[in-house]
């Protein structure tokens, strides 16, 4: 085959490969847009559902928790709506990634065969002239496809990162949604027995209600831990133990009676969860050679921070049980559940910590 035909064949193969890359990254950004649209539709459904339960009877209920009258339904609905609004805002921002003008390799007016803004600025006759068959048309189009593939890939990556952060906020909002709905349903039974002119209804924060709320929160804790293990492909006893210990810690924090033995039981469960969670905070070493305990854990800032946070939370929850502070216990339970999806939200300090941990390893 003559050299000219070899060059032509190589240019044809290069063009087809570049076109394949362009198609793939274009499909990726379309997929992100479709996913954002579906999630926003589901979010609208949940917001409509919680507003359907938002009635004067539910809002009027105050739960007696440690000498305080707490409007749990109103607080839960408010927290859900705020988090849902922030999540929707971040989804919208994900779809507004800035456009990047393609680079021009020629002098004079900037032109493009692919970028819609530059195409729209062209005169119709000039646009037709750009497609006149010449020896440079395919190489120029190949270069434009390469540049545009890179620009679209950057936009798709930005959409993915913003979408993950928005999903994290939505996952934090879902326990508030479920707790608000359950307490709103419970309030219907309470308010049905009082006079119509009563504006505020005080009810006891009974053990049954503690179990209901604690059960909902522990369900979400177990669900988040399970799917975190599935998506990161983590296996072994640590993730299995955490799937049990983490929901148990949340349930016991909210629902245990205020006694000293309850505080001891919670502390033991918290230590087990801390052990499993801290082991998962450090990566497994590749190969057959296993590092020492100090090399794998002691040198990892992430491991020390995880252990410290777990011990502080466990000590605080045990103290709140011993001193009978139900509102604080509920707050700790909600905070612990929220920590799981927020681990995907890594702006600023979290990214720096991840880099430090990687460099230390």
Nearest Cα to Cα of residue 338 among 212, 224, 180: 224
The answer to which of 11-20, 222-231, 236-245, 276-285 has the lowest mean pLDDT is 276-285
CB 316 within 8 A of CB 323: no
CB 33 within 8 A of CB 95: yes
CB 151 within 8 A of CB 24: no
The answer to which of 18-27, 94-103, 249-258, 326-335 has the lowest mean pLDDT is 94-103
Q: Among 42-56, 170-184, 272-286, 346-360, name the most confident range.
A: 170-184
Alpha-carbon distance of 280 to 270, in angstroms, equals 15
Alpha-carbon distance of 27 to 199, in angstroms, equals 55
State mean pLDDT over 26-37: 88
| Higher-pLDDT residue of 307, 232 | 307
Identify the DSSP state of 297.
Answer: I
Q: Which pLDDT score is estimated for 25?
A: 87
| Higher-pLDDT residue of 357, 242 | 242
Could you tell me the two tokens for 196?
């119509």
Is residue 194 scored above 60 in pLDDT? Answer: no
CB 61 within 8 A of CB 9: no
As a whole number of Å, the end-to-end CA separation of the chain is 54
Looking at every residue in the chain, the average pLDDT score rounds to 78
State mean pLDDT over 117-127: 74
Alpha-carbon distance of 8 to 12, in angstroms, equals 6
Residues 6+ apart with CB under 8 A from 335: 313
CB burial of residue 154 (10 Å; 0-12, 13-18, 19+): middle
Q: Which pLDDT score is estimated for 356?
A: 36
């Amino acid at each position: 085959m003559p050299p000219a035909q070899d060059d032509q064949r190589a240019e044809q193969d290069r063009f087809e490969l570049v076109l394949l890359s362009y198609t793939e990254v274009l499909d990726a950004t379309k997929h992100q847009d479709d996913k954002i649209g579906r999630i926003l539709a589901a979010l609208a459904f949940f917001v409509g559902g919680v507003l359907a339960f938002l009635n004067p009877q539910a809002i009027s209920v105050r739960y007696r928790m440690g000498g305080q009258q707490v409007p749990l339904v109103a607080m839960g609905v408010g927290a859900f709506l705020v988090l849902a609004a922030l999540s929707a805002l971040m989804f919208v921002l994900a779809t507004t990634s800035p456009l990047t003008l393609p680079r021009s390799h020629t002098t004079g007016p900037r032109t493009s065969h692919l970028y819609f803004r530059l195409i729209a600025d062209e005169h119709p006759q000039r646009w037709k002239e750009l497609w006149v068959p010449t020896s440079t048309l395919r190489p120029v189009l190949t270069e434009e496809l390469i540049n545009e593939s890179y620009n679209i890939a950057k936009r798709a990556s930005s959409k993915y990162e913003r979408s993950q952060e928005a999903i994290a906020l939505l996952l934090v909002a879902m326990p508030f949604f479920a707790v608000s709905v359950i307490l709103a349903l419970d309030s219907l039974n309470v308010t049905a027995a009082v006079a119509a002119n009563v504006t505020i209804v005080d009810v006891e924060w009974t053990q049954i209600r503690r179990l209901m709320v604690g059960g909902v929160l522990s369900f979400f804790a177990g669900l988040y831990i399970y799917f975190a293990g599935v998506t990161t492909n983590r296996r072994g006893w640590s993730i299995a133990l955490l799937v049990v210990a983490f929901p148990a810690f949340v349930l016991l924090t909210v629902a245990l009676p205020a006694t000293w033995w309850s505080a001891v039981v919670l502390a033991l469960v918290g230590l087990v969860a801390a052990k499993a969670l801290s082991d998962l905070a450090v990566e497994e070493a590749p190969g057959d050679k296993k590092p020492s305990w100090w090399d794998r854990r002691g040198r990892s800032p992430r491991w020390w921070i995880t252990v410290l946070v777990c011990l502080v939370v466990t000590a605080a929850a045990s103290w709140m049980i011993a001193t009978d502070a139900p509102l604080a216990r509920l707050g700790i339970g909600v905070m612990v559940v929220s920590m799981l999806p927020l681990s995907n939200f890594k702006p600023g300090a979290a990214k720096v910590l991840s880099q430090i941990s990687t460099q230390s390893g």
